[in-house]
A and B are shown apart, each in its own frame.
Chain A
Amino acid sequence: MTDRLESKHIARKVGGIRKLVLILLSACLGLTALLDIFVVEKIFSPLVYLYIALGTIAVLYGVPPLYASRRLIQYYWVRARRNRLAVAGLAFILFLILLALIGPFLTADPTAANFEEKNVPPQGFTIEESVYNPETQQFTTKSITGMRQHPLGTDNKGRDLLAMIISGARISLLVGLFATGIAVAMGTLIGTISAYLGGWVDNALMRFTDIMMTFPFFILLVLIVYIFGAKLFIIVLVIGLTGWTGTARLIRSETLSLRTREFVMASKALGASDSRIILAHLVPNVISLIIVIATLSIPGVILAEAALSFIGLGDPSVTSWGMVLRAGQQNLDTAWWVAVAPGIMLFLTVLAFNFMGDGLRDAFDPRSAV
Chain B
Amino acid sequence: MEKTILRVKNLKTYFFTRRGIVKAVDGIDFDLLKSECLCLVGESGCGKTVTALSILGLIDTPPGRIVGGEIYYADLNLLECPREQVRQIRGKEIAMIFQDAQSALNPVFTIGDQIAEQIKLHSGANNREAKARTVSLLEEVGIPSPEEAADYYPHQLSGGMKQRAMIAMSLSCDPQILIADEPTTAVDVTIKAQILDLFQQLKETRQMSLLFITHELGVVSEIGDRMVVMYAGKLAETATVAELLNNPKHPYTAGLIRCLPDMTQAKDRLESIPGIVPSLIDPPGGCLFHPRCDKALAICSQKEPPPVIVDGEHTVFCHLYSHESG
Contact = CB atoms under 8 A, between A and B. Distances in A.
B92 A269 contact: no
B142 to A, nearest CB: 20
B90 A4 contact: no
Nearest to A272: B121
A265 B148 contact: no
B108 A284 contact: yes
Contacts of B103: 261-263
Interface in A252-278: 261-263, 265-273, 276
Contacts of B258: none
A280 B105 CA distance: 13
B168 to A, nearest CB: 12
Interface stretch (B94-102, B287-295, B303-311): B94-102
Interface string B108-122: 110000000110011
Interface centre among B89, B90, B92, B169 (most CB of A within 10 A): B90
Chain A interface helix/strand/loop/mixed:
helix
Given A271-B88, A271-B90, A265 B104 contact: yes
B11 to A, nearest CB: 18
Given A8-B151, A261-B103, A262-B98, A269 B58 contact: yes
A197 to B, nearest CB: 12
Interface string A278-293: 0011001101000000
A270 B151 contact: no
A287 B56 CA distance: 30
B98 A276 contact: no
Given A1-B148, A271-B122, A266 B104 contact: yes
B35 interface: no
Contacts of A276: 121
B109 A284 contact: yes
A198 B88 CA distance: 23
Interface size class of A (residues with CB under 8 A): 20 to 34
B107 interface: yes
Given A262-B100, A270-B170, A271-B90, A285 B106 contact: yes
A270 B118 contact: yes
Nearest to A285: B108
A262 B104 contact: yes
A174 B122 CA distance: 41
A247 B124 CA distance: 35
B121 A271 contact: yes
B3 interface: no
Contacts of B107: 263, 285
Contact of A268 (B58, B100, B109, B122): B58
Contact of A265 (B58, B95, B108): B58
Contact of A269 (B62, B90, B100, B106): B90
A1 B148 CA distance: 9
12 contacts: A4-B148, A262-B98, A265-B104, A266-B98, A266-B166, A267-B106, A269-B91, A270-B91, A270-B118, A271-B88, A284-B106, A284-B108
Interface of A: 1, 4-5, 8, 199, 261-263, 265-273, 276, 280-281, 284-285, 287
The 8 closest A-B pairs by CB, nearest first: A271-B91, A270-B91, A269-B96, A266-B104, A271-B90, A262-B103, A262-B104, A263-B106
Given A4-B148, A269-B56, A271-B89, 15 more contacts: A1-B148, A262-B98, A263-B106, A263-B107, A265-B98, A268-B58, A270-B95, A270-B118, A271-B87, A271-B92, A273-B87, A276-B121, A281-B106, A285-B108, A287-B108
